[in-house]
């Protein structure tokens, strides 16, 4: 992964760059946006294990939270507290009560980090349904994602509770999203805007009970775009990845009640138009995979689990729209139904280190002959996939992809 210097600001009007420019000359896109201001909400502690916002996107009483304010056209405040989005009280992360927390059925793996996600839509505006790709958020919307590490992930609430490492913020401008990383101070209740990123050594016990030390990477601001930039109509646009209907289609806990997250957004008036949820197939739940155990997955359930895992971990680069991985012509989005394009008997076409002694990305029946598995397992720079965002192997994901490849109908790739 090459790192790129933050490019200079471009004049207004030059807010979209053609996809074909070399990635090294990406320019910041300026959008026209609006300053945001909403009513103060009631302060509420946001427990670690649950995802209870207790807030209904409304007009809570003012109890010490500033109004949420983030202007997508300018560099945001140095301190996260000034945005009104989040704060830390006695080590615990608290989100503004007007944010709506959500989880994904299948999340991205980031060195076992525990993640807390939430969304906010300006008052009076709504989210538009999309069958495919992320839901369409109105200008001024904000998505936040925080990364935490419990000392022992089998018991996240134990001891002093999880360490809050970073909070990533995306705010919707007129044409695309702006991405901003904040790193939490070692002590105290605030996080600081950190466009240059950082690497932190973090020790923890993973959910399976293995002791690990991550060289956890907080990306530089321009590295955010490696994953968040997509090709749209021949142009390179910064976008969101997670909030797709299939991935939001799961239960959350709001105000002490368990309710489907999409239904909850609908009930809040934030997602007025949506199809009957019974007609929508959710993306595979990783919690469910963990519970059932990879060895017990077979047939279509195994196929969807592996394909959904590859989609959320790889397809932002490896799809027809992915900017970083397009040169490889390896398309790992779950909708791609062409086996060659998801790697079956495909010799690598990209400029990386090649095959690492293996010939094809995916050899049905043979995970140990598949380049894709090698790159998922290794931590060697230049070979590791994803090439950014992890320093440790994801043992559950590896087991899942191995089992899927073992079960693929046999083909002789050398014929």
Q: Where along the sequence are the contacts to ligand HEC (CB under 6 A)? A: 104, 107-108, 117, 143-145, 168-170, 179-181, 219, 221, 223-224, 226-228, 240-243, 310, 312-314, 316-318, 324-325, 327-328, 330, 346, 348-352, 361, 371-372, 375-376, 385-389
Minimum separation from the CB atom of position 63 to ligand HEC (A): 26
Q: For residue 51, which of 250, 252, 248, 242 has the smallest C-alpha distance?
A: 252
Minimum separation from the CB atom of position 352 to ligand HEC (A): 2
Q: Which is nearer to ligand HEC, 33 or 181 (CB)?
A: 181
Q: Which is nearer to ligand HEC, 268 or 315 (CB)?
A: 315
Contacts of residue 114, defined as CB under 8 A and 6 or more positions apart, other chains included, come to 48, 147, 148, 149, 150, 153, 156, 162
Q: Which is nearer to ligand HEC, 60 or 336 (CB)?
A: 336
Q: Which is nearer to ligand HEC, 60 or 317 (CB)?
A: 317
Minimum separation from the CB atom of position 227 to ligand HEC (A): 3
Contacts of residue 139, defined as CB under 8 A and 6 or more positions apart, other chains included, come to 33, 34, 72, 122, 125, 172, 173, 174
Q: Which is nearer to ligand HEC, 60 or 177 (CB)?
A: 177
Residue 381 tokens, joined: 């720079």
Q: How far is the C-alpha of 294 from the C-alpha of 52, rounded, in Å?
A: 30
Minimum separation from the CB atom of position 168 to ligand HEC (A): 3
* Residue given tokens 């590791």 in the structure block: 384
Q: Which is nearer to ligand HEC, 60 or 306 (CB)?
A: 306
Give, in degrees to the nearest 5, the angle at Cα 107 between 95 and 124.
Answer: 45
Minimum separation from the CB atom of position 13 to ligand HEC (A): 25
Minimum separation from the CB atom of position 285 to ligand HEC (A): 13
Angle of helix 395-407 relative to helix 299-314, nearest 10 degrees, comes to: 130
Residue nearest to ligand HEC (CB): 352
Minimum separation from the CB atom of position 62 to ligand HEC (A): 26
Minimum separation from the CB atom of position 45 to ligand HEC (A): 22
Q: Which is nearer to ligand HEC, 52 or 324 (CB)?
A: 324
Q: Which is nearer to ligand HEC, 38 or 283 (CB)?
A: 283
Minimum separation from the CB atom of position 231 to ligand HEC (A): 13
Contact assessment for residue 200 and residue 164, using Cβ atoms and an 8 Å cutoff? no
Q: Which is nearer to ligand HEC, 35 or 195 (CB)?
A: 195
């Amino acid at each position: 992964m090459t790192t790129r210097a933050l490019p200079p600001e471009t004049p207004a009007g030059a807010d979209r760059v053609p996809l074909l420019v070399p990635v090294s000359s990406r320019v910041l896109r300026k959008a026209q946006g609006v300053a945001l201001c909403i009513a103060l909400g009631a302060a509420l502690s946001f427990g670690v294990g649950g995802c209870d916002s207790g807030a209904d996107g409304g007009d809570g009483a003012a109890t010490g939270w500033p109004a949420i304010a983030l202007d997508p056209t300018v560099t945001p405040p140095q301190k996260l507290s000034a945005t009104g989005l989040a704060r830390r009280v006695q080590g615990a992360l608290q989100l503004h009560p007007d944010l709506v927390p959500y989880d994904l059925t299948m999340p991205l793996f980031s060195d076992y980090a525990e993640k807390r996600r939430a969304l906010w839509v300006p008052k009076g505006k709504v989210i538009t349904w999309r069958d495919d790709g992320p839901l369409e958020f109105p200008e001024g919307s904000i998505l936040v994602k925080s990364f935490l590490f419990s000392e022992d992930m089998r018991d996240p609430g134990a001891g002093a509770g999880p360490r809050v490492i970073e909070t990533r913020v995306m705010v919707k401008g007129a044409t695309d999203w702006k991405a901003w990383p904040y790193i939490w101070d070692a002590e105290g209740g605030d996080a600081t805007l950190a466009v240059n990123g950082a690497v932190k050594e973090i020790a923890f016990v993973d959910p399976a009970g293995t002791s690990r030390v991550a060289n956890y990477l907080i990306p530089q601001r321009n590295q955010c775009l490696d994953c968040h930039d997509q090709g749209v109509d021949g142009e390179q646009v910064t976008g969101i990845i997670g909030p797709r209907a299939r991935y939001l289609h799961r239960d959350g806990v709001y105000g002490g009640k368990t309710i489907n997250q999409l239904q909850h957004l609908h009930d809040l008036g934030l997602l007025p138009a949506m199809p009957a949820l019974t007609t929508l197939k959710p993306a595979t739940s990783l919690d469910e995979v963990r519970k059932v155990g990879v060895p017990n997955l077979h047939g279509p359930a195994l196929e969807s689990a592996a394909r959904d895992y590859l989609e959320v971990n790889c397809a932002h680069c490896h799809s027809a729209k992915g900017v970083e991985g397009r040169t490889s012509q390896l398309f790992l989005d779950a909708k791609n139904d062409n086996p060659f394009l998801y790697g079956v008997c495909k010799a690598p076409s990209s400029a990386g280190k090649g095959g690492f002694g293996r010939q094809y990305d995916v050899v049905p029946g043979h995970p140990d002959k598949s380049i894709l598995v090698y790159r998922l397992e290794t931590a060697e720079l230049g070979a590791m996939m994803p090439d950014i965002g992890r320093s440790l192997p994801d043992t559950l994901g590896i087991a899942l992809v191995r089992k899927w490849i073992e079960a693929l109908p046999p083909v002789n790739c050398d014929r």
